[in-house]
Structure 1
Amino acid sequence: MTGSYVNFVGIGVDAITYDELFTKVDKWIANKNGRSHHIACVNAYNVALSVSNKELYRIYNNADITGADGIPFVKWINKIEKMDCDRIAAPDTILMLAEHAKVKNYTFYLYGGAPDVCVKMKEFLEEKFPHINIIGHMSPPFRKLTPEEDEQIINEINALQPDIICVGLGTPKQDYWIDENIEKIRGSVLIASGATFDFFGGRVKMAPDFIRKSGFEWMYRLFGKDFKRLWKRYIIMYSVFVGTFMLQKSGIVKYAVVKDLRN
């Protein structure tokens, strides 16, 4: 452990509560001409990917908040490291920020998901939070965008000046997109939102709260409708994380956290 984060196989996961997160977000979006900020919601899958992917290692450690997306991470930070920490999962974070927008009048932009899913996510949030101001939404093509298409999207976002941008392109595509564009977008907070679009858009059912709080949400998702897509993530990559974390804690292998790696 160093400072206010905990080293999970080389990724510095921040010990942060939602009250602390709100304070940071309020400060960040006060300057619409300033640089944008990145909230990364990191779980065992993200950490396992970063072991052999130096770009992801840099992106996660370079995020302004590297939140603990996963009950095992939260419990370890709370119980073992004795630090206050909330679960900074994308669905929870977006809901909390949407509620907080009742006071702070945040504006939102949704980028990602299938076309119908993106629209349904917008409708879900607007129904749940009548006060919410979603000023734009877009479902990009699944293929790689041309430089001209990407520039057009960035120009639209900058013209709208959203406070919160939910990026739901899947891991690691959404992480790369945020890293490539965060310096081009001014005064926003970007959240890698992953399956949140599918949850809020109704394509995939979110696990009940008691399962999410138990730490076995991964099992609920694994045996859901996306088994063919998720089995490698939850069986192979989670095993990679457990193995490397055991090596780290035993002292056999050392994994260093290097923060502030902006190019």
Structure 2
Amino acid sequence: MNQINFLGIGLNPITYSELFKKIDVWISDKSNRSHHIACVNAYNISLSLKNEKLRKIYNAADVVGADGMPFVRWIRSINKQSCDRIAAPDTILQLAEHAKMTNYTFYLYGGAPDVCVKMKEFLEEKFPHINIVGHYSPPFRELTEEEDQAIVDEINSLAPDIVCVGLGTPKQDYWIADHLHKIRGSVLIASGATFDFFGGRIKMAPTFIRRSGFEWLYRLLGKDFKRLWKRYTVMYFLFMYHFFLQKTGIAKYHLIDSKHNDFLLEEHVPA
């Protein structure tokens, strides 16, 4: 699949119609390994600059979607390619709507217990046809091997098509990487704040704000300011700084082979 290099992470320009076709192929074989849709934004990329494990996880994903309108606009205007915003909330809503025709089944893994239940209720109210076959809110601590295996066994027995994983970044990304070959025939999506949005803990930005590219500001000024201020100030500044270095040629972030997780940064210091 075509990739566009953003600081060593290869984003895939893709539309939802193209994504649906891929998912249909993936879930047609329930004996096969699961597949990973990574919704990557500036925060994810900033974290990956100094986190090789996370960088490998994103680059190894089956689809690395552009989660953020600035990415989408860059791909559309500069690279002249069709691209939809593959953000987890939008993607799950699109998949839930598309399930009218495909009968996709869903499993929710993550969020606080009440939030997980409320997310399930929200989706079932908005999409009466949706089939959520199971849900589980894991404890904040790390699961024992026995507890984890029990969850894997449950998910495999229910055989959901879509597994929404809401554990927060980067914990949810690590979980997906660890379970990609344990869970069979599903599509795993790191869903993070989607659980809070759909579960009613925090308010989702209106559509026009999400399309404007300023959803980050809406969230920053909301109830999670203390948790998000660093993400939307320090980490976004870090992204813009490195993106400037990449586009001016001062630093090169080579995407050697994204599916084999190779990464190389060369800095060119002016004489």
TM tier, smaller = over 0.9
Q: CA–CA distance in 2 between the matches of 1:240 and 1:144?
A: 30
- Where 1:260 maps in the other structure, the secondary structure is helix
TM norm structure 1:
0.98
Question: Match for residue 184 of structure 1?
Answer: 182
Kindly state the Cα deviation for residue 83 of structure 1 after the two structures are TM-superposed. Answer: 0.7
Q: CA–CA distance in 2 between the matches of 1:241 and 1:253?
A: 13
- Where 2:118 maps in the other structure, the secondary structure is helix
Q: CA–CA distance in 1 between the matches of 2:241 and 2:21?
A: 36
- Where 2:38 maps in the other structure, the secondary structure is strand
Question: Match for residue 144 of structure 1?
Answer: 142
1:122-137 equivalences under 5 Å are 122-137=120-135
Say which is worse superposed, 253-262 or 125-134, in terms of deviation. Answer: 253-262
Kindly state the Cα deviation for residue 157 of structure 1 after the two structures are TM-superposed. Answer: 0.5
Q: CA–CA distance in 1 between the matches of 2:258 and 2:236?
A: 24
> Which of the residues 191, 198, 201 maps onto 2:199?
201
TM norm structure 2:
0.95
Structure 2: stretches of 5+ with no match in the other structure? 262-271
Kindly state the Cα deviation for residue 173 of structure 1 after the two structures are TM-superposed. Answer: 0.3
Say which is worse superposed, 249-258 or 100-109, in terms of deviation. Answer: 249-258
Structure 1: stretches of 5+ with no match in the other structure? none
Q: CA–CA distance in 1 between the matches of 2:76 and 2:141?
A: 41
The letter of the residue matching 2:260 is: L
> Which of the residues 219, 226, 235 maps onto 2:233?
235
User: Is 1:223 aligned to residue 252 of structure 2?
Assistant: no
- Where 2:174 maps in the other structure, the secondary structure is helix
Q: Which runs of 4+ in 1 moved over 3 A?
A: none
1:65-104 equivalences under 5 Å are 65-104=63-102
Question: Match for residue 248 of structure 2?
Answer: 250
The letter of the residue matching 1:259 is: S
Q: CA–CA distance in 2 between the matches of 1:145 and 1:256?
A: 36
Q: CA–CA distance in 2 between the matches of 1:86 and 1:144?
A: 35
The letter of the residue matching 2:17 is: D
Q: How many residues align?
A: 260
Question: Match for residue 165 of structure 1?
Answer: 163
Q: CA–CA distance in 2 between the matches of 1:9 and 1:51?
A: 8
Q: CA–CA distance in 1 between the matches of 2:174 and 2:235?
A: 19
Q: CA–CA distance in 2 between the matches of 1:201 and 1:244?
A: 35
Kindly state the Cα deviation for residue 261 of structure 1 after the two structures are TM-superposed. Answer: 2.6
Q: CA–CA distance in 1 between the matches of 2:108 and 2:260?
A: 27
Kindly state the Cα deviation for residue 35 of structure 1 after the two structures are TM-superposed. Answer: 1.1
Q: CA–CA distance in 1 between the matches of 2:191 and 2:220?
A: 18
The percentage of aligned residue pairs carrying the same residue is 71
Q: CA–CA distance in 2 between the matches of 1:140 and 1:217?
A: 28
RMSD: 0.8
The letter of the residue matching 1:98 is: A
Cα offsets for 1:182-232 (capped at 9, x unmatched): 110100000000100000000000001111111000000001000000011
